[in-house]
């Protein structure tokens, strides 16, 4: 029996592929497809993962080539995102660069990312944001400058941004919403990757939560509404199998929840089709 008989365009909103450290784009996509997955939104991995630290443009070019590989060799639709992971700044500083020089390097890379989105080679900017570990006040100031710069670029070209940040609750969502408000950026297009089930407006302040697809998280999310995306943050790294969640999680979770009447079919189409299409301006 077909895994996804309704052909719901089940979308993992944040999944990595890595032919250097993992099983690679086509194998991940085929695993995803075979259990009912149809669409993958793929951010580039940091530069050190392919052994060329701070080659930010190359990391963006690579993810575009990986998505192309999936689109040409599988039935999955893959869409790349391009950005500079906040840990790159920490590593630049560790390598001896000043915060100002690090900021300039990252700005230049994000300018390149903007061009890739304009050329329709990528569908948005991400992941950018703040580190998920403690840093000095000085570094955090520059991390916020990068985040705001990325938002400015995205506003110019009306594209979405995926945020990588520390664990975020209402307080952080409110802060990120204020950054968007400062420049009149469409908050719906500001996506909090690796989110908990912050679905209500008084929790997410208008941002879009991309909810980690553990069973409990999604149950809580859908109990509040359908204004969210689903993701695994799968790393495709053979030294960390299944991290963070495996590539089959989003399709399996969605279809299981439909069978158990936790989701309706309408819920599934809203999360995986309507929300994705309106945020990314794509057709799935």
Tokens (6 digits) for 119: 């050329």
- Whether residue 174 is predicted with pLDDT greater than 70 in this model: the reply is yes
Per-residue model confidence (pLDDT) at position 108: 98
* Average pLDDT estimate for 163-187: 97
- Predicted confidence (pLDDT) at residue 1 exceeds the cutoff of 80: no
- Per residue in 24-50, pLDDT (tens digit) is 999 999 999 999 999 999 999 999 999
Question: 90-113, pLDDT tens digit by residue?
Answer: 999 999 999 999 999 999 999 999
Share of the chain above pLDDT 90, in %: 99
Per-residue three-class SS string for 33-53: HHCCCCEEEEECCCHHHHCCC
**pLDDT given for residue 242 in this prediction:** 86
Q: Where are the domains of the chain?
A: 11-280
Give 117-150 pLDDT, tens digit per residue: 999 999 999 999 999 999 999 999 999 999 999 9
Q: Name the class of domain 11-280.
A: alpha beta
| Res. 2 pLDDT band, cuts 50 70 90 | confident
Q: Which residues have CB under 8 Å from 2's CB, separation 6+?
A: none
> Taking Cα atoms as reference points, which of 145, 48, 61, 49 lies closest to residue 94?
48
- Whose tokens are 């952080």? That residue is 172
pLDDT band at 280 (very low <50, low <70, confident <90, very high): very high
Mean pLDDT over each residue of the chain, to the nearest integer:
97
Helices (H) and strands (E) in the chain, counts: 11, 8
């Amino acid at each position: 029996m077909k895994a996804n008989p309704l052909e719901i365009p089940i979308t993992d909103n944040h999944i990595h592929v890595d032919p250097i450290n993992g099983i690679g784009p086509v194998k991940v996509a085929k695993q995803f497809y075979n259990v009912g997955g149809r669409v993958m939104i793929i951010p580039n991995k940091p530069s050190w993962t392919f052994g060329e630290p701070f080659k930010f443009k190359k990391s963006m070019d690579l993810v575009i080539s990986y998505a192309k590989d999936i689109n040409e060799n599988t039935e999955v639709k893959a869409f790349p995102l391009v950005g500079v992971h906040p840990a790159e700044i920490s590593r630049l500083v560790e390598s001896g660069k000043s915060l100002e020089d690090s900021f300039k390097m990252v700005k230049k890379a994000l300018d390149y990312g903007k061009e890739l989105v304009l050329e329709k080679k990528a569908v948005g900017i991400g992941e950018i944001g703040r580190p998920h570990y403690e840093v000095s006040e000085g570094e955090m100031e520059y991390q916020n400058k990068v985040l705001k710069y990325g938002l400015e670029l995205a506003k110019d070209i009306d594209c979405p941004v995926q945020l990588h940040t520390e664990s975020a609750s209402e307080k952080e969502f409110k802060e990120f919403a204020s950054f968007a408000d400062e420049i009149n950026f469409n908050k719906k297009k500001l996506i909090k990757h690796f989110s908990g089930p912050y679905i209500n407006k008084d929790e997410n302040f208008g941002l879009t939560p991309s909810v980690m697809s553990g069973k409990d998280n999604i149950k809580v999310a859908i109990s509040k509404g359908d204004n969210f995306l689903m993701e695994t943050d799968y790393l495709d790294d053979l030294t960390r199998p299944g991290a963070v969640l495996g590539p089959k999680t989003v399709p399996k979770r969605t279809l299981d929840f439909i069978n158990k009447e936790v989701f309706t079919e309408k819920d599934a189409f809203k999360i995986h089709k309507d929300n994705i299409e309106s945020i990314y301006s794509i057709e799935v």
